[in-house]
Amino acid sequence: MPELRLGGALWRKTMKKLFILIFILAVLSGGAYYAQKNDWLAKIKNKEFFNEKNSKNNFKIWQNEAYGFELSYPSGYEFSESKDGYEVGEFFLGKGIYLGRINLPENSYPGSNFFSGFLNFSASATETPDSCRRANQEGSEQIIELADSKLINGVKFWRGKAIGAAAGTLAESIIWHGFYDGVCYEVTFNTFEGNIGNYPEGTVVQFDKNDAQTKIESVLETMHFKEGPVNFLAKYLEAYKNIAEKKNFQEVKNFLRSDEIGRMAKENTSLETNYTAFDNFEVVSVKKQDDHFLAEMELYRNGKALKKPGENAAISVKIFREDGSYKTSDWYFVQ
C-alpha cells in the first residue's frame, strides 16, 4: 500500500483533489447564498417580504376568489372571517358585504395605551366610481369625501378618516376605497386605544400610530386584483338593467354561456321579448359550489324588490368559468 508522506507525490495528488473539492463547494454555497439573497430582494420589491423581528420571508396569503383579489400578510398577524372583539361597520354609501379582517398581534405595543388594531375588508357591487370616492360612517349622516389617492398595483384607492370616542376609549378608522371592474373595495385600518390622560402619569406611553400605519400599508400594498364572479355579476347586471330603454340585447347576451345561446335559438326563446325589467340591483352573497359560484341578488324596479309569487326577494344566479372567462345561463329572473 503506497505511503502518504508529507510532500510526497501521493500527498501532493491528494491535496490537489481536496483543494478542487473545497473550491467547488465554496462556489456552490456562494451561488446558493446569492440566489437566496436575490430571491429575498425580489420579494421585498414585490411587497412579499415583511420586516418583522425574528422573521425572514414569513408570511401568509389570503385569496378571495369570489371578489377577485389576494394579498400577503405576516404570519404573526391573525386572519378572521368573523368580527370578533371590537366591531366596525362598513363605510359605503349603500350596502356592502363584509369579507374578513386581519388583526395586529395583541402585544404589538407593550407598555402603551394600545388596545386593538385590525384591517377590515368589505366590498360593494352597487357603488359607482363616483360614490366609491365617498364614505358614510354608520349612524351618521355626514359624508366623508375621500381625497388622498394611492395607486395599488394598478387600482387607485382614495383615503379618508373617521374618529370616535366612548367610555375612555378612542377609536380611529383610516378608510381606503378603490373601484375595480364594477366593484368598490373597502379597506379600513381601525385602532382602539385608551385615553392617555386617564392613566396615572408615567405608567404607559402613547403607542406609535405611524409605525402601525406603516405596517398596515405594507399589507395593503400587496393587494392584487383580477376579475372574480362578483365583478362579472356587477357588470352583467349593470348592462342588463333598464334593458327596455337601452335595447342592448346583444351586449347582455355576451354574458351568457354558449350552450344557453344555442338553447335559446333552438327553442326560439328571445331575450328581446322575455327579459326582466329592473332599474337597480343588490348582490347579497356569492358562494363557491362544486363547479360554479352561486350568487344571491335582489332586483328592484321603482324602488320595489322583484320576487316570484310565494318567494322572497332573493334571486339565484349560477356563474361558471367558460373559456377563460365567467359566464351564466340565467337571464330570465322574474316577470
Q: Is the pLDDT of residue 26 over 90?
A: no
Q: Is the pLDDT of residue 189 over 60?
A: yes
Nearest to 91 by CA among 180, 9, 159: 159
CATH of domain 59-225: 3.40.1000.10
pLDDT tens digit sequence for 246-263: 999 999 999 999 999 999
What's residue 161's pLDDT? Answer: 94
Q: Is the pLDDT of residue 55 over 70?
A: no
Instruction: Provide the 8-state DSSP code for 277.
Output: P
What's residue 233's pLDDT? Answer: 95
Separation of alpha carbons 140 and 158, rounded Å: 20
Separation of alpha carbons 326 and 227, rounded Å: 9
What's residue 179's pLDDT? Answer: 96
Q: Is the pLDDT of residue 33 over 70?
A: no
What's residue 176's pLDDT? Answer: 97
Match 349612524 to its residue by C-alpha cell: 139
pLDDT tens digit sequence for 220-231: 999 999 999 999
Contacts of 219 (CB under 8 A, 6+ apart): 71, 72, 73, 74, 77, 102, 119
pTM attached to this predicted model: 0.76
> Higher-confidence residue: 194 or 49?
194
Cell readout for 194 is 385608551
Match 421585498 to its residue by C-alpha cell: 44
Topology of domain 229-328 in CATH is Nuclear Transport Factor 2; Chain: A, (3.10.450)
Cell readout for 100 is 374578513
Q: What pLDDT band is residue 50 in, cutting at 50, 70 and 90?
A: very low
Q: Which DSSP string do the residues of 306-322 spell out, in sequence order? A: ---TTS-S-EEEEEEEE
Nearest to 13 by CA among 2, 25, 23, 24: 2
**How confident is the model over 319-324, as a mean pLDDT?**
92
Match 368589505 to its residue by C-alpha cell: 122
What's residue 52's pLDDT? Answer: 38
CB 110: neighbour CB atoms within 10 A? 10
CA 289 to chain CA mean position, Å: 20
What's residue 335's pLDDT? Answer: 60
Separation of alpha carbons 230 and 66, rounded Å: 6
What's residue 35's pLDDT? Answer: 42
Residues 115 and 106: beta-carbon distance below 8 Å: no
Separation of alpha carbons 108 and 97, rounded Å: 29
Q: Is the pLDDT of residue 148 over 90?
A: no
Domain boundaries, the chain: 18-47, 59-225, 229-328
What's residue 275's pLDDT? Answer: 94
What's residue 314's pLDDT? Answer: 87
Q: Is the pLDDT of residue 200 over 70?
A: yes
What's residue 5's pLDDT? Answer: 45
Q: What pLDDT band is residue 310 in, cutting at 50, 70 and 90?
A: confident
Lowest mean pLDDT segment, chosen from 11-25, 136-150, 183-197: 11-25
**How confident is the model over 148-174, as a mean pLDDT?**
92
Cβ neighbourhood burial of 153 (10 Å; 0-12, 13-18, 19+) = middle
Instruction: Provide the 8-state DSSP code for 132.
Output: G
Q: What pLDDT band is residue 13 in, cutting at 50, 70 and 90?
A: low
Nearest to 115 by CA among 35, 207, 182, 243: 207
Cell readout for 86 is 371590537
Residues 135 and 160: beta-carbon distance below 8 Å: yes
What's residue 41's pLDDT? Answer: 34
Residues 231 and 181: beta-carbon distance below 8 Å: yes
Lowest mean pLDDT segment, chosen from 89-98, 103-112, 132-141, 188-197: 132-141
Q: Is the pLDDT of residue 99 over 50?
A: yes
Percent of the chain predicted with pLDDT > 70: 83
